[in-house]
Amino acid sequence: MLERSVGILLYIAALTLPAPALAVLAVRLKVFPTVRKTYFFWAAVSLLNFGFLAFLPFPPLLLLKSRVPGDFVAFLLPPACAGALIVLALALGLRFAMRGKRFWVGADGAAPYLVNLAFFVAFVVAADVYKIHLIQKALVARQPECIQVAPFLTSVMNAGGDFQFFTHAVVVEGGRNYYWSYSRMTFFQGNEQLDPSFPCTRK
């Protein structure tokens, strides 16, 4: 009953937004269970910051957003590839180790959720590692007096909001604040309006 209700709601949304036709077809006809479960997983992930991640359950919304994800592709691509490779290796290992057990390899079991969860975790970890690498690279020739970096997932959960209330990373050098930009993949200099809102507290 719940699945039918969700299918009806998504079908209505598809007519009005529209929502992803493939996902709607999968739910309505109860086919492509892997696609359906993958769609549900990323729809749930979008709730971390629906205002910024609404394109996960409703990809057509990308047409209405000028900065998602186009400006961030250069940063997102390496972690996404790393996450995909990690999950592929994990899936192949599990498939070999648990061959013959439908729970692990069957589309009707938990495998789609587990694979998507593994990719999500691997992607977030890889994004943090990549961000730290880029930050360290950007600071090689500098002598920062203070460095404060927010986790990637925290950045995602606060993305799209007022910049006055959150910063991805801040570095103080020579008494001036410099802020990390994911789209530029480097630091930019702050100003008198921004700096008082972001005191660096980690030396």
The pTM for the full model equals 0.74
pLDDT at 29 over 50: no
Select the more confidently predicted residue: 93 or 11: 93
Long-range contacts of range 165-174, CB-CB < 8 Å, 24 or more positions apart? 165/197, 167/198, 168/131, 169/131, 169/135, 170/146, 170/198, 170/200, 171/139, 171/142, 171/144, 171/146, 171/147, 171/200, 172/144, 172/145, 172/146, 172/147, 172/200, 173/142, 173/143, 173/144, 173/145, 174/145
Q: Quick one: pLDDT at residue 3?
A: 43
Average pLDDT of span 179-200: 78
Tens of pLDDT, residue by residue over 99-126, are 655 544 444 567 778 888 989 999 999 9
Percent residues over pLDDT 70 in the chain: 66
Least confident of 70-74, 115-119, 142-146, 154-158: 70-74
Tens of pLDDT, residue by residue over 151-181, are 999 888 888 765 556 788 888 888 888 888 8
Least confident of 55-69, 131-145, 158-172: 55-69
Q: Tokens 């090689």 label which residue?
A: 140
Q: Is the dihedral of CA 12, 55, 63, 166 positive or negative?
A: positive
Q: Quick one: pLDDT at residue 128?
A: 95
Average pLDDT, the chain: 74
Compute the distance between CA of residue 162 and CA of residue 193 in angstroms, rounded to an integer. Answer: 13
Select the more confidently predicted residue: 63 or 27: 63
Buried b (16+ CB within 10 A) or exposed e, 28-45: beeebebbbbbbbbbbeb
Average pLDDT of span 64-83: 77
Residue from 189, 159, 168, 192 nearest 177 by CA = 189
Tens of pLDDT, residue by residue over 11-24, are 334 433 444 444 55
Percent residues over pLDDT 90 in the chain: 14
CB 200 within 8 A of CB 172: yes
| Predicted confidence band of residue 85 (pLDDT cuts 50, 70, 90) | very high
pLDDT at 57 over 50: yes
**Which positions ≥6 away from 133 have C-beta within 8 Å?**
none
